[in-house]
């Protein structure tokens, strides 16, 4: 049993392969609590020998898994959902320690979403089946929907167990095995998920977790025994993984970054619009890929909107993320905080008006953590850096507009296409604008809700493929066509 080092909260972590803790031979990495900078645990990155071992275990377990009746596989995935719910408090606390997100959020948005996902895909194991094609008297064809084999999942740090589940549940439901690498910044809860999947009755090795940073992810992407890579991460990492996956022609799913728009029309309910803008920018400290960070407000309601928005933003309670009253915790790391603060500076230097926030919190309660006040910029232009680039922190840009056609064109003028939102009471406008916006998800009179039944994913440079919904199964299966001839074989020779 590993010992807890005197300066860490937990014992050393290790990759989880076929039910065993496997210390990798790679770099030593520490995961820290962003609320106070303390080291939570250390681990060694998985090296290529460790990844080989995970791939071997996954192939063996996948054969066993596939031999089980689909209904039995569904029962096991349902047990995973049940165990996740039963352990919500413990898992939510770990997620908060590792990510800094407020404990107000984690039980539902993180652990609840993970459980919902296993439950949804548990119900689908029996419908992963093919089609029959009649071809006349003497022939027919049918398709089989077969799993890809061993899939790799690579995660970001903002929603660790949710990302692990959104990849693993559909992969397993379709008959695959999964090797998951959480972000090196947030490795803890994926390891808990591995224990839970085994406790639920899945064959050991069906779901493995390898720890490490980019090098480990790159070794997974290059591995010939892995059939698919599903990434949640930034656009530059997505491009690197896609290029590397081409060497072995792997399937890829890419859940990448965004710079989404939220459009507030003049007939929208103003308080609801402010609520949507807050949810679209400041939930999880603004560290959400689908955030609507370009808030376009109709010029006739802009002043009123901005006043109410500022008032509510200044009341957001920032503090210890484990305190149930806290509404915003620290950013994930010192480096990330510095990056976000640099964007705030850039906004000011390019002439945007900083209406509120944007500064680091340094008083006693905050001094070793990575806290900042949520920032709102007004008087922004479409060409400013803060309006063009993904910041991935609590920084909102408010822009104004007068014409629907013009605002839709401006909302679409970005290489990203993950999500968008619109606030209006006009039904025809809602559907017209939803159709015209170039994004994978559109929220009408809401923002950032991701029920598992609804497919989620990006267009343009925000991604390829979809997670969740029935759609996700397409990205974890292949169709095999079987042509059956009942007559004589006709040949011209």
Written as six digits, the tokens of 164 are 């692990």
Does residue 459 belong to the site contacting ligand NAI (CB under 6 A)? no
Report the residue number whose CB is nearest to ligand NAI.
217
390 near ligand NAI, rule: CB under 6 A: yes
Least CB distance from residue 233 to ligand NAI, whole Å? Answer: 3
Determine how β-strand 228-232 pairs with β-strand 251-255.
parallel
Give catalytic status of residue 405 as yes or no: no
Residues 283-322 contacting ligand NAI, CB under 6 A = 289
**CA neighbor of 317 nearest in space, from 1, 104, 17, 91:** 104
85: CB partners within 8 A, 6+ apart: 111, 112, 115
467 in Cβ contact with 173 (< 8 Å): no
Min dist. Cβ of residue 336 to ligand NAI (A): 8
Tell me which stretch binds ligand NAI (CB under 6 A): 140-148, 213-221, 261-269, 304-312.
213-221
418 is a site residue for ligand NAI (CB under 6 A) = yes
HSE-CB at 220 with a 13 A cutoff on CA atoms is: 33
CA dist 60 and 66 (Å) reads 10
Question: Nearest distance from residue 449's CB to ligand NAI, in Å?
Answer: 14
DSSP 389: S
Q: Looking at 105, 119, 255, 404, which residue is catalytic?
A: 255
Q: What are phi and psi of 350, to 5 degrees?
A: -90, 0
Stretch that binds ligand NAI, among 156-164, 304-312, 342-350, 428-436 (CB under 6 A): 156-164
Q: Give residue for tokens 């009179």.
A: 445
- Region from 75-83, 143-151, 230-238, 352-360 binding ligand NAI, contact rule CB under 6 A: 230-238
> Closest approach of Cβ 229 to ligand NAI, in Å?
8
Nearer to ligand NAI, 198 or 390 (CB): 390
Please list, in sequence order, all residues whose beta carbon lies within 8 angstroms of the beta carbon of residue 399, skipping any fewer than 6 positions away. Answer: 294, 295, 296, 297, 380, 381, 382, 387, 410
CB 383 within 8 A of CB 347: no
Among 218, 365, 434, 444, which residue interacts with ligand NAI (rule: CB under 6 A)? Answer: 218
CB of 246 to ligand NAI, least distance (A): 13
Our finding on whether 30 is near ligand NAI (CB under 6 A) is no
CA 348 – CA 359 distance, rounded (Å): 12
Residue 240 near ligand NAI by CB under 6 A: yes
- Interaction between residue 100 and ligand NAI (CB under 6 A): no
CB of 32 to ligand NAI, least distance (A): 15
DSSP lists the bridge partners of residue 150 as 177
To ligand NAI, the closest distance from the beta carbon of 398 in angstroms equals 21
Q: Which residues contact 209 (CB under 8 A, 6 or more apart)?
A: 15, 16, 164, 179, 180, 181, 182, 187, 190, 191, 193, 194
Distance set, CA 252 to CA 123, 415, 467 (Å): 25, 20, 12
Q: Near ligand NAI by CB under 6 A, which window of 40-48, 148-156, 339-347, 474-482?
A: 148-156
Q: Does residue 157 belong to the site contacting ligand NAI (CB under 6 A)?
A: yes
Sign of dihedral through CA atoms 10, 11, 14, 17? negative
Give the interface segment with ligand NAI, choosing from 27-35, 79-87, 152-160, 168-176 (CB under 6 A). Answer: 152-160
Binding flag, residue 233, ligand NAI (CB under 6 A): yes
Catalytic residues: 255
Interface ranges with ligand NAI (CB under 6 A)? 154-158, 181, 183-184, 213-214, 217-218, 221, 232-234, 237, 240-241, 255-258, 289, 390, 392, 418, 458, 463
């Amino acid at each position: 049993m590993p010992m807890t080092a005197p300066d860490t909260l937990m014992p050393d972590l290790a990759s989880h392969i076929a039910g065993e803790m496997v210390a990798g031979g790679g770099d030593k990495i520490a995961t820290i609590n962003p609320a106070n900078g303390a080291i939570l645990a250390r681990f060694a990155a998985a090296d290529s020998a460790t990844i080989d071992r995970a791939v071997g275990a996954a192939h063996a377990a996948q054969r066993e898994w596939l031999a089980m009746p689909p209904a039995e596989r569904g029962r096991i995935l349902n047990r995973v959902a049940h165990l996740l719910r039963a352990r919500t408090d413990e898992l939510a606390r770990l997620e908060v320690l590792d990510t800094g997100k407020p404990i107000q959020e984690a039980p539902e948005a993180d652990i609840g979403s993970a459980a919902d996902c296993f439950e949804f895909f548990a119900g689908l194991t029996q419908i992963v089946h093919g089609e029959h094609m009649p071809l006349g008297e003497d022939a027919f064809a049918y398709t089989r929907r077969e799993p890809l084999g061993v899939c790799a999942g690579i995660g970001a740090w903002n929603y660790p167990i949710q990302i692990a589940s959104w990849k693993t549940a559909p992969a397993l439901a379709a008959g695959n095995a999964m090797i998951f690498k959480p972000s090196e910044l947030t490795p803890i809860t994926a390891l808990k998920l591995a224990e839970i999947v085994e406790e639920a009755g899945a064959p050991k090795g069906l779901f493995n977790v390898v720890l490490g940073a980019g090098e480990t992810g790159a070794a997974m992407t290059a591995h010939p025994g892995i059939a698919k890579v599903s990434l949640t991460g930034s656009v530059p990492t997505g491009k690197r993984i896609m290029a590397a996956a081409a060497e072995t022609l792997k399937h890829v799913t890419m859940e990448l970054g965004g710079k989404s728009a939220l459009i507030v029309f003049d007939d929208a309910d103003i308080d609801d619009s402010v609520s949507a803008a807050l949810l679209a920018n400041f939930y999880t400290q603004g560290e959400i890929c689908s955030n609507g960070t370009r808030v376009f407000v109709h010029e006739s309601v802009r002043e009123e909107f901005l006043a109410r928005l500022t008032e509510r933003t200044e009341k957001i309670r920032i503090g210890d993320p484990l305190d149930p009253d806290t509404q915003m915790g620290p950013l994930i790391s010192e480096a990330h905080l510095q990056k976000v603060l640099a964007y705030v500076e850039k906004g000011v230097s390019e002439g945007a008006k900083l209406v509120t926030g944007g500064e680091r919190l340094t008083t006693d309660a905050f001094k070793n953590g990575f806290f900042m006040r949520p920032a709102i910029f007004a008087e922004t232009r479409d060409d400013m850096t803060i309006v063009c680039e993904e910041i991935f922190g609590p920084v909102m840009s408010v822009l104004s507009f007068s014409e629907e056609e013009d605002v839709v064109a401006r909302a679409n003028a970005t290489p990203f296409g993950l999500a968008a939102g619109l606030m209006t009471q006009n039904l025809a406008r809602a559907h017209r604008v939803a159709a015209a916006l170039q994004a994978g998800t559109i929220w009408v009179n809401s923002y950032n809700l991701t029920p598992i039944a609804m497919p989620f994913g990006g267009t343009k440079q925000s991604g390829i493929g979809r997670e969740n919904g029935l759609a996700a199964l397409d990205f974890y299966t292949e169709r095999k066509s079987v042509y059956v001839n009942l007559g004589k074989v006709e040949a011209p020779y």
